[in-house]
Structure 1
């Protein structure tokens, strides 16, 4: 019998433990660190772009926050099953997906079995009796049918009561899955930072294909979600006050600033609130020299964008290009065109000041501007039918709905209910163009400190000699070539309105024709030149109408 191997001395054993082969966990951790270091060095190289510009580093954004303590999902799943069973509904939980704000429980409907009791019989067909002389009975299945989905959805309020949740949302069925999704709010929601989505493979893949990749947030199962603004091609955002619209817009702008130079993307910011987008005023990406805050300037600004769109189409025709990507690749193009992103923070104010003009201009841009690289992001806190009209909805196929106050508002923005059950603070429903149902996301959060760091990077003096010239001359051209006299398409309508009254004023033209004050003053001057109204010292004063309808027919 061979002798056992000698025992290693303590020193050798200690050396073997300290310097011997690493366990698999340590090897995996070291390889992950090396991959992260390589990815960061590659990212730094990629961020040094040509022509002197340098993209902001990712470390300007806050790191990924700590995950909230996971709730006891197993107990909640059992509570859902027990609650449904107490109402006579057979079901079982087949999936649990925990997200930053809600947890989705996948419920598979069970079977509804109908049975009857029949007496037992022996081999000869005689009834079998027990020892007390009573016949024995057995249960016989008559039919097995699936539990209807609407029996589960009808118990939404009862499930919310049992789970002690403020509200639950039932998605029936989950797209692409053979079960119903019950979304229950987490007791401690976690914050989704912009950096956590930007560093995800989903966003990196999207950013490698498009200049206008934007980070939206994370889904109900915690997966990062990114989108391509060029494919949307326009975005409509709606939600009640405090639901997260402005934070969403800030994250979209910050994401564009993190990955594009002013030679790639120019921004046109329209902020009737005056304070929401003011932090981005110093960046060199602005199309004009300032953020547009005056409502009277908005029609002229949108008209300047329309003229630029038409000029781009003429440039495309000159070189035989169909869209901005083909034009920028064409060797005959004199210079590359940047993308334009027009961001309007409050549509309701614009629709109150000049509804007819703004709606017509927005719809024209939404219909034609996609190929020219001009994209719209429009937000409103009042998703009513007089603000989000049918024309606007038809031309903005991609929509984001935050928490709203009623089901009517949800149907206005999404054409379906569901947004009234959202939790607020970035909880949203994202409806892309190629989806039949909206997708629930927790939007990215960008703090004021992060925005200040990114803006300070672009406002640095080292980029001073590279800043492109603001295109304020486009506004001047629109003002100089403004519609005057009988060239205005509303002149005939203003003339007919005047002949229906004895006196007419600029404010009446504004109210009845739905136009701004500047255009109404021009129309009043045109009516005066045509002899329809009497002259006046004050251009805003009420005017006497000089022509009656019967006299106009005789003159015609």
Structure 2
């Protein structure tokens, strides 16, 4: 074995990411060389990473130089459809970039041709994202400038010297894939492209946080980040600067100190770099055999002075911001842009001149960079949320006893109570594999007498087990909406449900991540009550002159109390012919509004209403039992096209869709529909396949929800389990 060299004078951002994933693999990669990329057995991204990044760069270069693509952006932004633009750009790039690559590969290395399909599959997902950003930026740029001012740099190198809590300094270098600009948010965004899904989201977050921080030191402005994993399925993960900054100051400084100590270790000294905290990664480690022989047992067990415990990520870091194809770079478009502008004059980034871009200036209290120090958070024995009752503690103890009966050692860390379920935290004993515990799902169900399987998942530092609450509670609408609530606010928020903290979670319809919703749930899931409470949350906050509601209720039982309310856009629709007519009127209304905006030089409804004495009301269309209209092919085709147009373009016009169905089958909720409904609410579904259709990314857990308003919510953040509100008939009568 080679003798380790002294720690390097600089560390790479890639090494920092690897230190979060597995300190030992980082050590071996630095001192011994070899592969350091974890890759699941079913991953399709192996071996195409470098070729994919080269193809990305070639495509962006083509977009910036091809006059035919620039010509596609000459119409006004209100006339541009991101999906259509995406298809047109795909056609140009296929002819100009990809097909020549295929021909060259066939003639030189034909054995590599099958891998090209993977490359193109990944590129098409990125093209959809690029098209969405270009259409949004077109509202702020002339056609000749929009591409140049959107794609600012490719393959940009950054570096920064960090001041560490122990007084040392550490140089960190990195190179990220792309830098883009979002005019709607007046914010730069660092973008990383991945040909695989993240094995450790916390490590991915640390990586992009570093890129944004180091670039900010040069540009002196806040910078968002995004990671797009293109294989085997598209997955977009987006981070606002506030989350990046918070993560950086809590995790990175001490991690850099640890890395220097780990890299300086030599055999046969005690205290080698620790094993990964994610033991499941050992099964997909590229240097598993070398690791087992290199870090010998006697070296690990050798006596030594007490060692400081490994610094784990603080447990109060906000959840990761996640999303799907329909999400956008911008994280919130609902607020009018009222910021000072900072002119970045004559600054050359990579090969592109950044000039006269309005960039958000940090608020006064944030204008000075925080010193890079961190105070480790104390370990909490009970998770946040409602205190565990004696009954719930008894259930948790039974859970531990069941696992111990199978020789699976765990410690009970505490419980948090939602209205419908309890969230139990278990810490596996050292040497107990996480996957081993997850396999006992059926045994737990039998021994605890559960009607549905428990929902189990690994978290940072523990395993969560969601069990039915012994004394299930109801979240009444009246308890969360007091009389005299502020009326007609600019935000168009709707109630989704109550979380483990007892906090009401709401979605803002003016946000691009939650402007339209797909809602699914079988009989008894609480879908109708969810729609009624959501509708009522708008009514109690807005007058009829500020908000209108269009209701489609073919079964005539979901909205009977709302038949005569003043908020109705038109009488409740109950037939397929009337449903088609309603959707066509909404499309016409959308086009009329955009014509008004154009004449008034406004970008969206909020800006337009600020200039008008008589505001235009927002419109929410709730389309219940959508599957009932899909039996007839012609009706289905017409409705699908209307939903596509409204889903793609209606947000800024203040028109929003909620499509609900008991049967979210693939032939009913087609990919075209799903791609235009970014917000998702899954109540209990009849099958795991139905759950995956609603939530995407093979999320099958909605099939095991408890019913009666127990739901999963996905709207620009990580998946949340909530309990929907229950609006009594008397509450509805008093409100309307």
Cα deviations by residue, 1:386-406 (Å, 9 ceiling, x for unpaired): 111111111111111111121
Shift of 1:168: 3.9
Normalising by structure 1, report the TM-score.
0.59
Return the match for 1:101 from 420, 435, 442: 420
Counterpart secondary structure, 2:731? helix
Partner of residue 510, structure 2 = 230
2:674 is aligned to 393
Q: How does 1:3-402 map to 2 (within 5 A)?
A: 70-112=389-431, 147-174=432-459, 177-199=460-482, 210-231=490-511, 232-288=514-570, 290-330=571-611, 333=612, 335-353=614-632, 354-402=635-683
Does the 8 Å CA contact 2:445/2:454 hold for their aligned counterparts? no
1:217 touches 1:224 (CA, 8 Å); kept in 2?
Answer: yes
CA distance in 2, matches of 1:355, 1:68: 49
Write the deviation string for residues 227-271 of structure 1: whole angstroms up to 9, x where unpaired.
222221001111111211111111111111111001110111111
Instruction: Report SS of the residue matched to 1:172.
Output: strand
Output one character per residue of 1:68-101: Cα deviation in whole Å (capped at 9) or x when no partner: 9945233322222222222222221213101111
Shift of 1:409: 1.3
How far off its partner does 1:443 sit?
0.8
SS of structure 1 residue aligned to 2:631? helix
Is the CA contact (8 Å cut-off) linking 1:265 and 1:339 kept in structure 2?
Answer: yes
8 Å Cα contact 1:168-1:183 kept in structure 2 = no
Q: Quick one: distance in 2 between partners of 1:318 and 1:180?
A: 56
Moved more, 182-191 or 370-379: 182-191
1:52 alignment partner in structure 2: none
Deviation of 1:431 (Å): 1.3
Q: Tell me the secondary structure at the aligned position of residue 311 of structure 1.
A: helix
SS in 2 for 1:261: coil
Deviations 1:287-343 (A, max 9, x none): 12x11112112112111110110111111111111111111113xx46321101111
Counterpart Cα distance in 1 of 2:604 and 2:458: 39
- State the alpha-carbon separation in 1 of the partners of residues 567 and 585 from structure 2: 17
3-state SS of 1:452 partner: helix
In the alignment, the residues of structure 1 paired with residue 649 and residue 627 of structure 2 have an alpha-carbon distance, to the nearest angstrom, of 23
Given that residues 388 and 416 in structure 2 are in contact (C-alpha distance below 8 angstroms), is that contact kept between their aligned partners in structure 1? Answer: no
Taking a change above 3 Å as real, the CA distance of residues 323 and 278 of structure 1, as seen in their structure-2 partners, is same
The answer to whether the aligner puts 1:417 opposite 2:709 as a matched pair is no
Residues in 2 aligned to 1:207 and 1:264: alpha-carbon distance in whole angstroms = 10
Residue number in structure 2 paired with 1:514: none
**2 CA distance for matches of 1:173 and 1:207?**
42
- Cα gap change, 1:453/1:207 in structure 2, threshold over 3 Å: closer, same or farther? closer
Alignment partner, residue 533 of structure 1: none
How many Å apart are 1:448 and its aligned residue?
Answer: 2.1
Does structure 1 conserve the Cα–Cα contact (< 8 Å) formed by 2:391 and 2:470? Answer: no
Q: Secondary structure at the match of 1:72?
A: helix
Query: What is aligned with 1:528?
Result: none
Residues in 2 aligned to 1:179 and 1:226: alpha-carbon distance in whole angstroms? 28
Q: Which residue of 1 aligns with 2:264?
A: none
The separation in 2 between residues aligned to 1:282 and 1:163, in whole angstroms, is 48
The root-mean-square deviation of aligned C-alpha atoms, in Å, is 2.4
Provide, for residues 469-521 of structure 1, a one-character-per-residue CA deviation record: whole Å limited to 9, x for no partner.
xxxxxxxxxxxxxxxxxxxxxxxxxxxxxxxxxxxxxxxxxxxxxxxxxxxxx
Tell me the equivalent position of 1:404: 685
Distance 1:220 1:163, change over 3 A: farther
Note closer, same or farther for the CA distance 1:193–1:68 as it changes in structure 2 (3 Å cut).
farther
State how far apart, in whole Å, the 2-side matches of 1:94 and 1:426 are. Answer: 27
Match of 1:447 among 715, 722, 728: 728
Conserved? CA contact 1:168–1:182, under 8 Å: no
Shift of 1:207: 8.5
CA distance in 2, matches of 1:324, 1:348: 31
Q: Which residue of 2 aligns with 1:120?
A: none
- What secondary structure, in the 3-state scheme, does the structure 2 residue paired with 1:173 have? strand
Closer, same or farther: CA 447–375 of 1 in aligned 2, 3 Å: same
2:569 partner SS: coil
Tell me the distance in 2 between the aligned counterparts of 1:445 and 1:257. Answer: 15
Return closer, same or farther for 1:76/1:352 CA change in 2, 3 Å cut-off.
same
Query: For 1:368-517, what aligned pairs fall within 5 Å after superposition?
Result: 368-415=649-696, 416-435=699-718, 438-455=719-736
Q: Are the structure 2 counterparts of residues 209 and 451 from structure 1 closer, same or farther at C-alpha, using a change threshold of 3 Å?
A: closer
> Would you say the 8 A contact 1:104–1:221 is kept in 2?
no
Query: Structure 2 CA distance, aligned partners of 1:178 and 1:210?
Result: 40
Regions of 4+ moved over 6 Å: 204-209
Gaps of 5+ in 2: 1-385
Look up the SS of the partner of 1:183 in the other structure.
strand
Q: Report if the CA contact (8 A) 2:490-2:606 is conserved.
A: no
Deviations 1:272-296 (A, max 9, x none): 11232232121111112x1111211
Query: Does the Cα contact within 8 Å between 1:210 and 1:230 map onto a contact in 2?
Result: no
In 1, distance between residues paired with 2:400 and 2:589? 60
Distance 1:180 1:397 in 2: 29
Counterparts of 1:501-540 in structure 2 under 5 Å?
Answer: none
* Distance in 1 separating the partners of 2:646 and 2:463: 40
Aligned residue pairs: how many?
345
SS of the residue corresponding to residue 352 of structure 1 reads coil
CA spacing shift, 1:263–1:391, aligned 2, 3 Å: same
Distance 1:301 1:275, change over 3 A: same
Would the aligned equivalents of 1:92 and 1:107 in 2 still touch at CA under 8 Å?
yes
